[in-house]
Amino acid sequence: MLKLENITVLYDGKVLAVDNVNLEVKQGEFVGIIGSSGSGKSSLLKTINLLVRPYKGKVLVDNVDVTGLSNSQLRSIRKSIGFVFQDYNLIDRSTVIDNVLVGRLGYKSSFKSIFGIFSDEDYERASTALRQVGLSEKMFERADQLSGGQKQRVAIAKTLCQRPKIILADEPVSSLDVSTSQTIMDYFKKVNEKKNITIMINLHDVNLAKKYCRRIIGLKNGKVVYDGSAGDLRDELLEAIYL
């Protein structure tokens, strides 16, 4: 469902963040991306939905090269790709339900999205998504009144509302304590297993990656230096990624 061909990311014409990466990810995979700070994890993830444009290479989503699409065509592809950020990316002063409804905007005409006009079906989907992350009772609270873990669950609900085929998550637990991180990872696991949504997740914490991700990709200086199962990731291979 997802193929990266020779992806290279170059910032300001000189910083080589991703160096000729080739990857294939099948529907329903749970992939963890690990590597030292600056190894290119974030840049790689962001090229998949073109938050960062690759300098070279192709991103194929269901065999369509998204790098060649116009903005309106891209809008339709982006509906199928959810993105979860480290800092939650919520509208603090809005309610939880209004934040989750943002996930429906990709399905609205520009007129309806500007005026925030949502149908009963949109509200139904938003409340279902909140139920899936165990936050129904917080629906009408303001987002800035939630804990970090709850905010990240709202962000996941927002993404689920989009009905994505794939969720990309960029360090989604690095601001959270150990037990809240596990809760969030459990939600990603549930979404992956119950809905067959592909998950690609950048993680600082190798132990979390090994516990949750069936496949691990190790990046070093923008190159893939490991691509295999969590079980095969022995200490000497980890050293090669991090040292």
Ligand X SMILES: Nc1ncnc2c1ncn2[C@@H]1O[C@H](COP(=O)(O)OP(=O)(O)OP(=O)(O)O)[C@@H](O)[C@H]1O
- The residue type found at 213 is C
Distance between CA atoms of 170 and 201, rounded to whole angstroms? 6
Strand partners, 154: none
Closer to ligand X by CB, 103 or 222: give it. 222
Closer to ligand X by CB, 42 or 159: give it. 42
Closer to ligand X by CB, 41 or 125: give it. 41
Name the minimum Å distance from CB 37 to ligand X: 3
For residue 27, the Cα-to-chain-centroid distance in whole angstroms is: 14
For residue 77, the Cα-to-chain-centroid distance in whole angstroms is: 15
Phi, psi (degrees; rounded to nearest 5) at 188: -60, -40
Going residue by residue from 42 to 61, which x/- string records binding to ligand X, judged by CB under 6 A?
A: xx------------------
The reply on whether position 172 binds ligand X by CB under 6 A is no
The torsion region of residue 49 among left (phi > 0), alpha (psi -120 to 50) and beta comes to: alpha
User: DSSP alpha helices (H): ranges in the chain?
Assistant: 41-48, 71-79, 96-101, 110-114, 120-132, 148-161, 178-195, 206-212, 235-242
Name the minimum Å distance from CB 95 to ligand X: 30
Residues 5-44 that bind ligand X (CB under 6 A): 11-12, 15, 17, 35, 37-43
Closer to ligand X by CB, 128 or 221: give it. 221
Name the minimum Å distance from CB 176 to ligand X: 16
Closer to ligand X by CB, 14 or 194: give it. 14
**Interface residues with ligand X (CB under 6 A)?**
11-12, 15, 17, 35, 37-43
